[in-house]
Amino acid sequence: MNEKTLLSLAYGAAFTAGERAVAFSDLEALAPCFKSGDEWLRKNASEGKDGFGWLNLAKRNVDDIQTLSRWLATRESIVQVGIGGSALGNLMLHGALLPPYWNEIPKAKRGGPRFFMSDNVDPGDNRAIWELLNPESTAVIVVSKSGSTAETAANFLFFWEKLRDTLGEAGARERVIVVTDKDKGILRPFVDETGCKSLILPEDVGGRFSVLSCVGLLSAWALGIDCNALLSGAAAMDDCLAKTNSVLDNPAWIMAGLAYLHMKKDRNINVLMPYADPLERFCEWFAQLWGESIGKDGQGSTPVRALGAIDQHSQIQLYTSGPDDKFFTILTVAQGQKDIALPAAPEKAFEKLSYLYGKSMNELRNFEAAATASALSKAGRPVAALSIPLLDACRLGGLIQFYEYVTGLMGHLMQVNPFDQPGVEQGKDYTYGLMGRSGFDAQAQEVRTLSAKINERLVTV
């Protein structure tokens, strides 16, 4: 790989034989669909259609985000309040590009603020976060396009009251940043009423595709992540995908095509297994992106998160010897950072471990990735090997753009809208009704009726 390589995809073991065969000719036959899908994505993005704006995020002006991040970087602690796409992207960026145990590193060595995410509605978690904060030197970011998402609203009300009671309304206002729609929703009037700091969520970008907007970039920049490199990597990936018209030259077409073809052959579980701890949160982000985008109209491909080498010892038995209902992607980082060479031990008890002496941890991990891919292939399971040269901001930006494009293209192949989430909205409406929100009485009654049916048969021990 040269220094400009963003990623590499090896897919020779992604094809299968027998009654549920997937052949390279099947992939080639999808070429017209790939081309029309690319045109569909780019045309709608250029016209500002709802949901398509993520395609161009890497090339938009981000001066206002960077300016506000400079103030944010002076804080001792940052609390972000959000859920789903307003949280997973941040955790993914931080997990991949910041040192492990970030909040435990002394400030002088860490440089940036501590970071806390308030996503789930857990009173113990929220109280624990608050008790770790110095309100005077804390900033709270609340992210929600509508402002009415129950979990985000509940958590923000908690932190807003704590700040207001501790610092007064003026002091609390100075420490809050609202990221929301420019016109709609509950939080925009709150900004107007209080005069707190604010950024505008792009209207044409949905939550799970928003990580390269102010949703993800604001905290990442404040914590010292090179967001210019992140965006340049995403832009470079998009340029590469836009200029290729051959299936052989477009890894995103190949990846979307393989996932689609195997889904049609009843391999409708998509396993992403990185062999790099910093990419564990990437799998969390991918799971929402993939599951919410293409789980529509009775169709779908269920995302499964695994982490090598840990899940070699918990899931590989199922993967190699269980049902043939999965398509696998093994993700590796070719050049690990700050490697550890394994020392020779003088004790005779360790003689049988001498095969490890002189090797490195990164070397061992990459060998394990190759071993897992080979074991899956030997068992007749379809597997692709995705690799990035090193895990830096540029390559991560490229990887984000790659998977967002693959997801959008998958929606086109399936003929579903990858940018809505009707199943999620139903659950939100039921929650609103049960919590007594005005206008949702019918939903409250409906969920009570359904709950009664669920609880018809009950056993207690």
Nearest to 180 by CA among 126, 220, 141: 141
**DSSP character at residue 341:** B
The pLDDT of residue 2 is 52
Q: Helix or strand or coil: residue 78?
A: strand
Q: Alpha-carbon dihedral of residues 440, 194, 218, 162, nearest 10 degrees?
A: -80
The highest-level CATH class for domain 8-44+229-414 is alpha beta
pTM value? 0.95
CATH of 61-201, one of 2.60.40.10, 3.40.50.1970, 3.40.47.10, 3.40.50.10490: 3.40.50.10490
For the chain, domain boundaries = 8-44+229-414, 61-201, 426-454
Strand partners, 451: none
In the chain, the percentage of residues whose pLDDT exceeds 70 is 99
pLDDT tens across 224-245, in order?
999 999 999 999 999 999 998 8
pLDDT tens across 164-180, in order?
999 999 999 999 999 99
pLDDT tens across 38-74, in order?
999 999 999 999 999 999 999 999 999 999 999 999 9
Domains 8-44+229-414 and 61-201 share a fold: yes
The residues that are catalytic are 292, 313, 428
Tokens of 26: 């099947």
Which whole-number Å values give the CA distances from 393 to 95, 218, 223, 332, 432, in the listed order? Answer: 12, 15, 13, 16, 39
pLDDT tens across 321-364, in order?
999 999 999 999 998 778 999 999 999 999 999 999 999 999 99
The pLDDT of residue 67 is 97
Query: At what angle are helices 251-264 and 393-414 packed, to 10 degrees?
Result: 40
Average pLDDT over residues 381-394: 97
The pLDDT of residue 3 is 66
Distance CA 443, CA 445 (A): 5
